[in-house]
Structure 1
Amino acid sequence: MTESTLRSHLEKVPVKVFSDRDEGSAFVAREIASLIKEKNKLNKTTVLGLATGSSPLLLYKELIRIHKEEGLSFKNVISFNLDEYYPMDHEDVNSYHRFMQENFFSHVDILPENVHIPDGILSREQIEGYCRDYDNKIKSLGGLDIQILGIGRSGHIGFNEPGSQAGDETRLVHLDEVTIEDAARDFGGKENVPRSAITMGVKSIMQAERVYLMAWGQGKAEVVKAAVEGPVTAELPASFLQNHPDALFVVDPAAGAQLSRIETPWLTGDCEWNDTMRKKALIWLSKQTGKPILKLTEADYKEWGLKSLLQTGEKAYDLNIEIHNMLQQTITGWPGGKPGSDDKTRPERSEPFPKRVIVFSPHPDDDVISMGGTFIRLAEQGHDVHVAYQTSGNIAVFDDDAYRYLDFMRGLSRQMSLCETDIEKFYNEITGYLKENPGNGNSHPSVLAIKGQIRKGEAIAASRFSGVKEENIHFLDLPFYETGSVEKSPVSQADIDIIVDLLRKVKPHQIYAAGDLQDPHGTHAVCLHAIFDALKVIREEEWAKDCWVWLYRGAWQEWDIEDVEMAVPISPDELKKKRMAIFKHQSQKDEPVFPGTDSREFWERAEDRNRETAQLYDSLGLTEYEAIEAFRRYKF
């Protein structure tokens, strides 16, 4: 079987992997723009099927740019959106009518009468006829020229949930539990998410001339692989696209990470054997055989499809030792470098010592959740540790907590015989607002200020417990975050300047930043890219040439072992101390406002991931530890 045949057999629908979502979105935008321009010249109508959610946001941004800067006209475009929650008022903050207006339609010259979005305010008696008319309108125009799709974790396209059939047309559907969980953050909790939606059917999607399915981030990797390489099944509606004559999956490296040609390229016959790939292959082989790396045999290589690795001229015995040593050399109990030691085989340099260190934390608890053991150890080993909280995290506090702190403030003022007039007035104003607007406290700036102060106090307590000097605790309050809602503003120069100022003030030898891009709210990714932009500004300054950047994960995901460049063992006692630091964040304890899809508390997630990393090192034949925090170096 040739390489191309094998790949086409594994990937039953074409997939393009782009360097990031910006590049992928720009590609799809160019495809759409090209078709519209071609049809505009012929005075023909372009019929587009459009999607909502985070996946197409950058696509719409690029189409708006092309419209404004290159003169692309949408006057001959007719659009049909995939879906809408039911019931849903058009002006509701979560309405797809509002989403499309704010993110696309109001910025281009599309005619209002050419816009079609399922109507969430119909009576139930009207829905069946409405849906039939929706499909008939599409058919009367000759069908969709291009359909844009995202993909849900359940494998849904539009709101065609598991169990949908290839012949299904536009209809009212019940939402899958996974879909409801994913929508919970936008609605302020699962209990507020509509249980139904009106969705274009699989049949209309499959009748489109071209289909582009866009998927970004590691959270989509598993479902992308299943839809592309697995069987066609109603339990995974996106898999129906395998039967479409012109469908394309457009993904970033994280969403495509589990595709066979990326995850196990040696099985597709498309593998360049560099150090990273050899390490990845032997870790995979160790997992498949259940053997430590040093016990792998030549027969194991051949049986599991790694014969091509042996054909590079190396013997199994030598390869095993080489990769085992690579992994061994990532382990260190000195994350800031061990003074006076030979550091040729250590992940961090020994000098200078002590180092100035900045730990950037996107939210006020990511530092201790994701790298609390390392954070504590850096301070204990004598380094000058700074922590920089990039955002206030104020929207992630329940209104009831704000109420509780107001009670505390009023009670303390009375007990201490402080001036009560202003405090009493403030107390009555805010509690009155909270009573009249249940669950909507974030709309009031004073409530947000209280919540921000709650998180600030918790962060100070956790940092103090971890051994950080109070003067080394920095609250950056980056402006992009301060919208009072889940939707944030774009990062601006003001955000970058704040980070640059801190870097120039501290002149760190080490930076730790969150590379945990699976954060469902996107704040981690935004904060990381803001740091990267700041590093571009200072990269030529003399102190920056001796600054190393380490990326941590842990709150939402963990590094794959082959990507780990520094592994810091955590003892049982240190793990308990890390847990106590996390507990200082009381507003996030038990049940945080934004828990994501993982029902475990943050401390449980962190400990489980740290233990899993240690167990994996152990299974590969390395020293057995209680837990390990993992890091990857970023070279700027």
Structure 2
Amino acid sequence: MKTSIYCNYTELTQAVAARIAEVVRAKPDAVLGLATGSTPIGVYDELIRLHHEENLDFSRVSAFNLDEYFPTEGEAQQSYYRFMREKLFDHINIEPRNCFIPSGEPRSMGEIERDCAAYEAEIAARGGLDLQLLGIGRTGHIGFNEPGSAADSRTRLVVLDHLTRADAASDFFGIENVPIRAITMGIATILEAREIVLMASSSAKAAIVAEALEGKITSKVPASFVRQHPNIQVFLDDSAAENLTQRAQPWRVPDADFRVPMLRNRTLMSVALERGKTLEEISRHDLAASGAAPLALTDSELSLVKSEVSRDLMSRIDDDSHLPTGKTVLCLSPHPDDDVICCGATLLKLSARGNRVFVAFGVNGANAVRDKDVLAMLRARHPRLISYIEEHSEPGKSFEQVFDDLRTAIFEREPGQPDVPLLRELKRLVREGEASDACRKMGAKPLFWNLPFYNENREIGEDDVQIALDTLCETQPDLVLLTGEFNDPHGTHEKCGRAFERAAHIYVGKENGKAFEKWNYRGAWDEWPLWQGDVFSVFDKEMMEKKIGLILDHISQLDPLFPGGNDPREFFERARDRNRDTARQLQKLGLLPPSRSFAPLYAEVFRRQS
């Protein structure tokens, strides 16, 4: 098994696409097994580019997809039949007769079994799969082979795990609309491919990736079966690889170079926290017990290293060393509450230091507003919503008629179908109103991008990039705060980040453009590990109460529609607990003074982006 790790999602997907292109060029009539979901979208984008710009020819290629929801109509918005056409097949010269996707159309069990057998027979008739592309679900599934799937399983109807359905909830406008079953290739079908490419991205997959690649080979983690394949390549980005031994404990690598400051700092911090000691208390015995004996050969060398690391880390806690004064700060918040959840306290600090603070909201977040909340606000005659209805209603139509029409549209809407335009606009106004209130309290100016990709359910385009570019030209920022977590359940963070990076590349090359500093934040779904932090913004209980107030201004997100994963906490609870845990770790290392339970310290973490 060969494992390759890449710095980011773009490099990861380019590498996977390059491998697929090699197979197609070497064998023009190659038979490919393809995956769906958010992970391979970048691969398909790159394959499309290779087709158009480098003449990669798919005219003789056959493609078999792993799975499909059941029951699902072929043209349904969430069907993988439609997904593959929109994301790949419609943009390359593959013959439609060579594209195979399990049918999700409603039918009897007998018909399903016959169709599954025919699917297997068609793969065999075309000579078998030359390359099978796989993602990995957080349950460890490949295809829709959930935990418990047998190694000798074939294409069949399966029941989906609750976590798998929860991860798909945003695509179906609620978990209640996600099908309970699916049709999937079996483990044995997958393992018969001549080559397997397994890819994963984001820290949300880190735990299951480590378990699949380094744990026991077991049906409890179906992805672990791929390790039995004689020709398996694993492609990961840094975040997905962070729990692998070589990344989680890099000091155990034989050629570890402790002259590298990041490795040295990380080793000392990890050993100290593991041994329950401050940095100053670490001994050579502690290092040896943790497998890091080469870090210091003598007591004097260790003492010198500890002093250097302590000084470096202390400098990262000092606001005056990092937070600007009298500058322009732009915070990119993919959703309308990411800013306050992840860096609300720091934004308050930046505003108090006399900086011009802008918050650009990438998408409107309308998908995460409940129908009943909009109806309740209309019944209460919310001014913002009433004003919009009065301005956009048909002449002569009363509010009561509009309300009745809207309620009827909600109740008669088929499960999984998108909102009618008026309802979607009202949901947008709900989120924008909440974000505006929070920005006003922070002393920041809100900028609502409403990036088109979100409403049109597509990849980012030049129109998305232009909106971001216009903001950069208008604000001329000195510091930009960007999301550094791309494991949100919708993929919105990653798309907003790519749109901004493309815009930034154009902006700095313009005559009136200028370079700016970039900090990456996390906090909505996970937090930066301590060793990755470049800036620690420490604050007290009073500031945390203000931050929680900003989060609670987003009242539509209490009991969130798409909470993500198995974390039952409200977003303000996640932010509070993560910020407190970061400060506790700094205290355990001896970098922050101890605090009483009634006056705790908190810290937001940022990572500088080169």
TM-score, normalised relative to structure 1: 0.87
| Alignment equivalent of 2:76, drawn from 76, 80, 92 | 92
* d(CA) in 2 for partners of 1:442, 1:97: 18
Match of 1:550 among 519, 527, 530: 519
- For residue 481 of structure 1, the aligned residue among 436, 444, 454 is 454
Matched, 1:243 2:228: yes
Which of 117, 125, 144 matches 2:101?
Answer: 117
2:352 is aligned with 1:377: no
Please name the residue that 1:300 is paired with. Answer: 286
Q: Following the alignment from structure 1 to structure 2, what is the Cα–Cα distance between the partners of residues 410 and 384?
A: 31
Contact preservation (8 Å) 1:182, 1:597:
no
Q: 1:455 matched to which residue of 2?
A: 431
Report the CA distance between 1:609 and its aligned residue. Answer: 0.8
Distance 1:395 1:312, change over 3 A: farther
Q: Secondary structure at the match of 1:632?
A: strand
Q: Give the superposition deviation at 1:249.
A: 0.6
Residue 618 of structure 1, CA deviation? 1.4
| Range moving further from structure 2, 233-242 or 520-529 | 520-529
Q: Within the alignment, does 1:329 sit opposite 2:315 as a pair?
A: yes
- CA distance in 2 between counterparts of 1:195 and 1:548 reads 46
Contact 2:154–2:185 (Cα < 8 Å) also in 1: yes
Matched, 1:397 2:397: no
1:495 alignment counterpart: 464
Match of 1:48?
Answer: 32
Query: Does residue 187 of structure 1 match 2:172?
Result: yes
CA separation of 1:78 and 1:474: change in aligned 2, threshold 3 A: closer
Aligned-pair distance for 1:440?
6.9
1:574 equivalent in alignment to 2:543: yes
SS of residue paired to 1:482: helix
Once residues 115 and 136 of structure 2 are traced to their aligned partners in structure 1, the CA distance between those partners, rounded to angstroms, is 25
Residues 614-625 of structure 1 mapped to structure 2, 5 A cutoff: 614-623=583-592, 624=594, 625=600
**How far apart, CA to CA, are the structure 2 residues paired with 1:168 and 1:97?**
23
Write the letter of the residue equivalent to 1:508. Answer: P
Contact 1:228 1:239 in 2 (8 A): yes
> Higher mean Cα deviation, 296-305 or 497-506?
497-506
The residue type paired with residue 477 of structure 2 is P
1:204-353 matched pairs, under 5 angstroms: 204-273=189-258, 274-311=260-297, 315-332=301-318, 334=319, 337=320, 346-348=321-323, 353=325
Unaligned runs of 5+ in 1: 1-12, 338-345
* Distance 1:429-1:174 versus aligned 2 partners, 3 A rule: closer
Is 1:434–1:441's contact at 8 Å kept on the other side of the alignment?
A: no
User: Cα–Cα, structure 1 residues 377 and 59, in superposed 2: closer, same or farther, change >3 Å?
Assistant: closer
Pair 356,312 (structure 1): closer, same or farther in 2 beyond 3 Å: farther
Query: 1: CA distance between counterparts of 2:37 and 2:11?
Result: 18
C-alpha change, 1:501 and 1:132, in structure 2 (3 Å) is closer
CA contact under 8 A between 1:397 and 1:587: conserved in structure 2? yes
- Worse-superposed segment, 537-546 or 515-524: 537-546
Question: d(CA) in 2 for partners of 1:595 and 1:263?
Answer: 24
Matched, 1:160 2:145: yes
Q: CA deviation at 1:275?
A: 0.5
| Unaligned residue ranges in structure 2 (runs of 5+) | 595-599
CA displacement 1:4-44 (0-9 Å, x = unmatched): xxxxxxxxx3211123333333333333333333333xxxx
Change (3 A) 1:77 1:499: closer
Q: CA deviation at 1:617?
A: 1.0
Q: Return the alpha-carbon distance in structure 1 between the equivalents of residues 22 and 69 of structure 2.
A: 32
Structure 2 residue 62 is the aligned partner of structure 1 residue 78: yes
Equivalence for 2:579 = 610
1:203, distance to aligned residue in structure 2 (A): 1.0
Q: Give the letter for the 2:195 counterpart.
A: R
Q: Is 1:599 paired with 2:568? A: yes
Secondary structure of 2:335's counterpart equals: coil
Q: Distance in 1 between matches of 2:365 and 2:223?
A: 35
Decide which moves more: 61-70 or 255-264. 61-70
**Is the deviation greater in 423-432 or in 473-482?**
423-432
Which residue in 2 is equivalent to 1:68? 52
Q: Secondary structure at the match of 1:299?
A: helix
Change beyond 3 A, Cα 1:312–1:254: farther
Query: Is contact 2:123-2:129 (8 Å) kept?
Result: yes
Query: Is the contact made by 1:150 and 1:213 (CA closer than 8 Å) also made in structure 2?
Result: yes
1:530 corresponding residue in structure 2 = 499
Q: CA deviation at 1:296?
A: 0.6
1:540 positional shift: 6.2
Q: 1:320 to 1:160 in 2, by over 3 A?
A: same
User: What residue in structure 1 maps to residue 597 of structure 2?
Assistant: none
2:607 maps to which residue? 632
Out of 111, 115, 124, the position equivalent to 1:126 is 111
2:280 and 2:158 map into 1 onto residues whose CA distance is: 54
Q: Give the C-alpha shift of residue 285 in structure 1.
A: 1.0
Q: 1:516 to 1:190 in 2, by over 3 A?
A: same
Cα distance, 1:544 vs. partner? Answer: 6.6
Check 1:180–1:478 CA distance in 2 against 1; reply closer, same or farther (3 A cut): closer
1:165, distance to aligned residue in structure 2 (A): 1.9
2:181 to 182, 186, 196: 196
CA distance in 2, matches of 1:599, 1:29: 37
Q: Give the Cα separation in 1 of the matches to 2:342 and 2:117.
A: 51
| 1:507–1:49 distance in 2 versus 1, CA, 3 Å | closer
For the residues of structure 1 that align with 2:486 and 2:377, how far apart are their CA atoms?
32
Letter in 2 for 1:32: I
User: Which whole-Å CA distance do the structure 2 matches of 1:405 and 1:360 have between them?
Assistant: 28
Q: CA deviation at 1:147?
A: 0.9
Instruction: Say if 2:251 and 2:263, in contact at 8 Å, map to a contact too.
Output: no
- Secondary structure of 1:187 counterpart: coil
Deviation, structure 1 residue 574: 1.5
- Write out per-residue CA displacement over residues 55-96 of structure 1, whole angstroms, 9 at most, x where no aligned residue: 222222233333334444334323222112222222222212
Structure 1 range deviating more: 403-412 or 202-211:
403-412
Report Cα offsets for 1:118-157 as digits up to 9, x if no partner. 2222311222333233223333443211111111111111
Alpha-carbon deviations, 1:97-130, whole Å to 9, x = none?
A: 2222222223333333333222222311222333
Give 1:245 shift.
0.5
Counterpart amino acid of residue 346 in structure 2: T
Measured after TM superposition, the shift of residue 235 of structure 1 is 0.9
Partner of 1:5: none
Match of 1:434 in 2: 410
Cα gap change, 1:495 to 1:413, in 2 (>3 Å): closer
Secondary structure of the 1:198 match is: strand
Cα deviation per residue 1:190-236 (whole Å; 9 max; x = unaligned)?
Answer: 22222222211111111111110111111111111222222211111
* SS at structure 1 position matched to 2:357: strand
Equivalent position of 2:420 in the other structure:
444
Secondary structure of 2:549's match?
helix
Counterpart residue identity of residue 530, structure 1 = A
Instruction: Report if aligned partners of 1:434, 1:440 keep a CA contact under 8 Å in 2.
Output: no
The match for 1:30 is: 18
Q: Is the 8 A contact 1:224 1:255 kept in 2?
A: yes
- Flag the 1:556–1:109 CA change in 2: closer, same or farther, 3 A: same
- Determine the C-alpha separation between the residues in 2 that align with 1:366 and 1:225: 28
Provide the C-alpha distance between the structure 2 equivalents of 1:126 and 1:142, rounded to a whole number of angstroms: 25
Superposition TM-score, scaled by structure 2 size: 0.90
Q: Contact conserved, 2:323 with 2:350, CA < 8 A, in 1?
A: no
1:82, 1:199 within 8 Å by CA — same for their partners in 2?
yes
2:91 counterpart of 1:107? yes
Match of residue 6 from structure 1? none
Shift of 1:593: 4.4
CA contact (8 A) 1:398 1:593 kept: no
In structure 2, give the amino acid aligned to 1:490.
I
The change in CA–CA distance for 1:64 and 1:355 in structure 2 (over 3 A counts) is closer
Q: Who is 2:7 aligned against?
A: 19
1:578 deviates by 1.1
